[in-house]
Chains A and B, each alone.
Chain A
Amino acid sequence: MILLQAPSDWALFFGHFHPLIVHLPIGFLFIAGLLEVGRRLGAVSLTDSVISLILFWSAVSATVACLFGYLLSLGGGYEAEILEEHQWQGIGVAVFAWVAWLVKSERFGDRIPFGSLLYVPALVVSIVLLMVAGHHGGALTHGSDYLTQYTPEPFRSLAGMPPRKESEVAIKPLADVNQALVYEQVVNPILQARCVQCHNAEKSKGDLRFDTAEMLRKGGEGGPVFVPGKGLDSELIKRCLLPLDDDEHMPPKGKTQLTDSQVAILSWWIDQGAPFDKKVADLTVTDAVKPALAQLGSGAPAGGSSAAPAAATGPAPEPEVLTMQVPAADAGALETVRKTGLLVMPLSKEQNQLEVSAVNARAFGDADAAALTALDEQLVWLKLSNTSVGDGALTQIAKLKNLHKLHLEQTKITDAGLKNLKGLPHLTYLNLYGTAISDAGLAELAGIKSLRTLYLWQTKVTPAGIAQLKKAAPQLEIIGGLNEQAIATFATSVTQPAIESPKATKQ
């Protein structure tokens, strides 16, 4: 049995057919049982040879399933105790299926003493074992709590089960990222959500377990999974960064993948020496990981910034307000908004967030703005440039709590209206070019902490007002544009190499 001592590719190849083959005896045995019951109740009439044929194939397929199951188990990574039970139950199914067939078969049935007495018990035992083995098989593949993890109340309490844990995929937002324990509250939830399904006490693929800190430190059959201080040299990170098609890539193709920011966090944690007891605030928060940490909850991550070169970083993660779950917009509300001439466009296939544009609705005015408030959860990008809106509309816009970008250029809004924007917690883009906004209005904007870019071309704002705002809100990029003087300088201060007298150029 060389084949069975070291799991060769052949062994594992056939082993992986176990989950497929195993369903044949399940079907065969159940139909045999049903037919037998039906026959005894007089509901169906059939001959022994039919039952015998079904039982024969039950036994054959159960035997093959046992064999393949054994080959599969050579690959390792299953919880030994459940595996052993499952194995013997499976063998039992096969043995009792053979017994049931033997005593029923025309050729051998007569030669077995008390054969007819054995038939019913053998069939019943085989079916019962089948159910138990099936349940354990499921537990091996999906985890022991898979079947019942979504048991609803009140059955849950009746069965004496503990209250359901939050779905492991949803990572709870942190109250304050800086005070979070870096392993317990930042790293571990990612591992729990994406890795533990296959690397746990019951199913430890690659002899690797992520369910406890101790096991994570220990590593797997290939050695430790991380090298403290060297994120990119660590197996844990390398595996996530390999191309999806690579056999070594983790999580395997088809499973939910880690997001870029999750990989960034894990990599950063290892770079920082992979501490298990420190808080985020105790570590150096690099620019690369800042946005990823910021995503985890409210409160921007503090901490010394290191000079991570921009070139080395991947794309910044999407702001939460664009990716979070919001309910779909009410159809009636959409219709009302469309009637005012606005275009309503979904941000993407996956989400219910909306973009609303007044590109063809020049007449859209303050009176129409109330219609927008019905979309307060969905509306993230609003473009009201070149419309008739004024300060009146801003009182309605103030209610659009998830607003991320707001275009008010070339409208009649004034300084007085801007105070309404203060309460918009996600506003990052504000375009006020071509309006009557002056320094007085700018003062109102300093309070919008989320604001990142502000457009003030062709307004009444003065350089002094901009400087003051810049001081109050250093995160803000203020784009003042070019005045006539600046354009004249730009257009004339440059010399291009002189072109020789236009001679006929050939070819």
Chain B
Amino acid sequence: MDLQDQIHDMMSRRTFLGQTGAGIGTLALASLLNPGAALAASGPALGKPHFPPKVKRVIYLFQSGAPSQLELFDYKPRLETMWGQELPESVRKGQRLTGMTAGQSRFPLAASAFKFAQHGQSRAWVSELLPYTSRVVDDLCFIKTMHTEAINHDPAVTFIQTGSQQAGRPSFGSWVSYGLGSDNQNMPAFVVLLSKGRNGDQPLYAKLWSNGFLPSVHQGVVFRSGPDPVFYLNNPPGIDRTSRRRMLDYLAKLHQEQVKHVLDPEIDNRMQQYEMAYRMQASVPETLDLSKEPNYIFDLYGPDSRQPGTFAANCLLARKLIEKDVKFVQLYHQGWDQHGNLPNDIKVQTKSVDQASAALVMDLKQRGLLDDTLVIWGGEFGRTNYSQGKLKKDNYGRDHHPRCYTIWMAGAGIKKSFVYGETDEFGYNIARDPVHVHDFQATVMHLMGVDHEKLTFKHQGRRYRLTDVHGKVIKPLLA
């Protein structure tokens, strides 16, 4: 409908201008119909941040499946003393459960099977599962009181990525691309990298990095490690760069003809995407070239980093992309959904992320990039303090828990060596300083120089924004 309206609108304006034939009208018409000019003019929505940004680029290390905060960051000695006892109703307060544990007759409290220690100046608790991360806590800002509205993976991931539990809204990175544009015309502003720790976990969908109703140039571009990082980017055999250029030029002429008749703004987008792809044919191989990386850098990120497609290799790629001023690098790492067999499975998972996550922070720091890059590490919700299935000393599981979980951030504009918020002694509810998903989104937007209430897009008759009608910037997090 919206598109129809838009076309109708443009048509009538064209008719009007055609009839008057006034000089200025013809000029406007010319710029309207000359896609070359339109191409040059179609910048980002804001073009400029609302205020000077602290963060120029984001690397979001999304831990898909929901890492257990109780095994990693949120140390609760009370769970040790009350091990195996029933979760008191005074704590649960009728909280809804997933279908996976709703049928359980008991909710036995489960303590972490892993030891905790305090690290760094902030004396932040980190478990023995993350020995590398615990080395860099002085560069980290922990938020222990993240909470969300969804209790299942798909709506929860969709919520933190797009601000809505229902699919169809633009992803975080798409909003950033739309609002701020690219700092490097030869690279997309929003790049997606995928990896997994454990097989057979929750799936990911392309809708998570979709542009939603925003122009399609803002959708996330998936990069893979290895010789062919972007699907279908390279010229097929027998086509060289010159003939590709000629082909694109003729195609652009055809598109321009088409625009005159249809006036579909997506044609402009399509032309921009072809041009971007053409530029990326040159820029991507150069950007992602790992051959000049010294061995000790691979050592820093860990042995996995030599193996394309791993989280560690993607962290290294993320750094390479950031060095080329890509605005928003969204990693997804699957495998955190430990409903059962948690103590062993989480070890596989932490081993796949720990060293590379810490290495990324250290590497960005020594290159001077952490000064205007923000690294975010966290999942879509937390895990329950009671065991799903049978509780044994060495084996248990945890169900989904939206009421509290921990994430960390590092880098520009936020406090270093800082722990924000506190959960209750059961690790079930928030005791103070809650941070809602929309608050988190608003805060990251704020760091990027964007007022989250002012970055909107009108679609189907209403203005949408990432934070819907919610979200407050959490000022105590800001440096």
User: Which A residues fall within an 8 A CB radius of B?
Assistant: 260, 310-311, 314-316, 318, 322-323, 343, 345-351, 353, 357, 359-360, 405, 407, 409, 429, 431, 433, 453, 455, 457, 479-482, 484, 487-488, 490-491, 494-500, 505-507
Q: Is B333 an interface residue (CB 8 A)?
A: no
Contact A479 B351 (CB under 8 A): no
The one of B50, B299, B476 that contacts A348, using a Cβ cutoff of 8 Å: B50
Q: Indicate whether B401 reaches chain A with its CB closer than 8 angstroms.
A: no
Across the interface, do A349 and B46 meet the contact criterion of CB distance under 8 Å?
A: yes
Tell me, in angstroms, the Cα distance from A499 to B350 when the chains sit together. Answer: 11
Do B300 and A490 have beta carbons less than 8 Å apart? yes
Nearest A residue (CB) for B324 = A359
In the complex, what residues of A have CB within 8 A of residue B300's CB?
Answer: 482, 487, 490-491
Cross-chain contact of B479 among A316, A322, A346 (Cβ < 8 A): A316
Q: Determine whether B234 belongs to the interface, using a CB cutoff of 8 Å to chain A.
A: no
Nearest-Cβ distance from residue A96 to partner chain B, whole angstroms: 51
Q: Given A487-B300, A491-B355 in contact, is the A314-B114 Cβ separation under 8 Å?
A: no
**B348 at interface (Cβ–Cβ under 8 A)?**
yes
Known contacts A348-B48, A348-B50; A496/B350 CB under 8 A: yes
Q: Which of A348, A429, A484, A499 is in CB contact (< 8 Å) with B347?
A: A499
Q: Mark B36-58, 1 if CB is under 8 A from A, else 0.
A: 00000000001111111100000
Which B residues from 79 to 95 make CB contacts under 8 A with A?
none
Give the size category of B's interface with A: 35 or more
Query: From B136, which residue of chain A is reached at the shortest CB distance?
Result: A490
Distance between Cα atoms of A505 and B347 in the complex (Å): 13
CA distance A78 to B101 in the complex (A): 66
A310 contacts B415, C-beta separation under 8 Å: yes
From B17-25, B214-222, B248-256, B365-373, give the one contacting chain A: B365-373
Task: A487 to B363: give the CA distance in the assembly, Å.
Answer: 10
Contact with A along B463-479 (1 / 0, CB 8 A): 00000000000011011
The residue in chain B whose Cβ has the minimal distance to the Cβ of A485 is B296
User: CA–CA, A429 to B46, complex, Å?
Assistant: 27
CB <8 Å contact, A491 and B302: yes
Q: What would 6 A/B residue contacts be, using CB atoms closer than 8 Å?
A: A318-B51, A350-B51, A409-B367, A494-B131, A499-B351, A506-B340
B229 CB, min distance to chain A CBs, angstroms? 18
C-alpha gap A431/B373 in the complex (Å): 15
Contact between chains at A482 and B362 (CB < 8 Å): yes
Least Cβ distance of B371 to chain A in Å? 6
Partner of B366, one of A357, A481, A495, A498: A481
- CB of A360 within 8 A of CB of B50, answer no
Residue from A322, A359, A433 in contact with B184 in the complex, judged by beta carbons closer than 8 Å: A359
**Is residue B268 contacting chain A, with contact meaning CB distance below 8 A?**
no
Cβ of B132 within 8 Å of any chain A Cβ, yes or no, is yes
Whether the Cβ atoms of A314 and B368 lie closer than 8 Å is no
A482 close to B366 (CB less than 8 A): yes
Q: Which residue of A lies closest to B473 (CB)?
A: A315
**Which 10 pairs of residues, A with B, have the shortest CB-CB distance?**
A481-B366, A315-B478, A431-B368, A455-B368, A494-B131, A457-B366, A349-B48, A346-B48, A484-B296, A348-B49
Residue from the list A348, A494, A505, A507 in contact with B132, Cβ < 8 A: A494
Known interface pairs A359-B184, A429-B371. Does A487 touch B478 (Cβ–Cβ under 8 Å)? no
When distances are taken between beta carbons in the complex, the residues of chain A under 8 Å from B449 are 348
Q: Tell whether, in the assembled complex, residue A314 and residue B367 are in contact, meaning their CB atoms are under 8 Å apart.
A: no
- The answer to whether B183 has its CB under 8 Å from any CB of chain A is yes
Nearest CB in chain B to that of A362: its residue: B286
With A322-B52, A351-B52, A482-B362 known, 16 other A-B pairs at CB within 8 A are: A310-B415, A315-B475, A346-B47, A347-B49, A348-B49, A348-B51, A409-B367, A453-B371, A481-B367, A490-B300, A490-B362, A491-B355, A494-B132, A496-B350, A497-B128, A505-B344
> Is A497 within 8 A of B371, CB to CB?
no
Please report which residues of chain B, range 164-212, place their CB below 8 angstroms from some CB of chain A when the two chains form the complex: 183-186, 198
**Cβ contact within 8 Å between A353 and B52:** yes
Q: Which of these, A357, A409, A490, A497, contacts B183 with CB under 8 Å? A: A357
Cα-based distance from A507 to B186 in the complex (angstroms): 43
Q: Is B135 an interface residue (CB 8 A)?
A: yes
For B47, what are the chain A residues with a Cβ–Cβ distance below 8 Å? 346, 349
Q: Which residues of A contact B420 (CB under 8 A)?
A: 311
**Which residue of chain B is the closest to A480 with respect to CB atoms?**
B366
B331-349 vs A: 1/0 string, CB under 8 Å? 0000000011100110110
